[in-house]
Amino acid sequence: MLQKISLSQKRSNLEIVAEILRIARRGAKKTRIVYGANMNFKMLDEYLEKLEKAGLVTGSKNYGGLIKTTEKGVEYLRHFYGLQEYGIS
């Protein structure tokens, strides 16, 4: 069964990626993602590097620092939330 994650429980990498992608769907600056995803800038930079290489986000250095989820990233979110409905993730 899917359980809400309390603050004392750690999030998986998949959950962190989904949270970053969700916040950046309409475009977001790093500060908004850091606060929205409850992480620090160093951690965000590490994730953004991987997400850009995977083609899930664009624009961290372009667009005035605006980060945006790509169509591939939106597809990731669809799969992630679909699996959550089955209690898998």
- Model confidence pLDDT, tens digit, residues 51-87: 999 999 998 565 568 999 999 999 999 999 998 887 7
Tell me the pLDDT tens digit for each residue of 13-58.
Answer: 999 999 999 999 999 999 999 999 999 999 999 999 999 999 999 9
Q: Are 51 and 17 in contact (CB under 8 A)?
A: yes
Q: Say what the pLDDT of residue 32 is.
A: 97
**Using CA atoms, how far apart are residues 31 and 41, in angstroms rounded to an integer?**
8
3 falls in which pLDDT band (50, 70, 90)?
very low
Instruction: Tell me the domains of the chain and their CATH numbers.
Output: 13-85 (1.10.10.10)
Residues whose CB is less than 8 angstroms from the CB of residue 63 and which lie 6 or more positions away in sequence, other chains included: 27
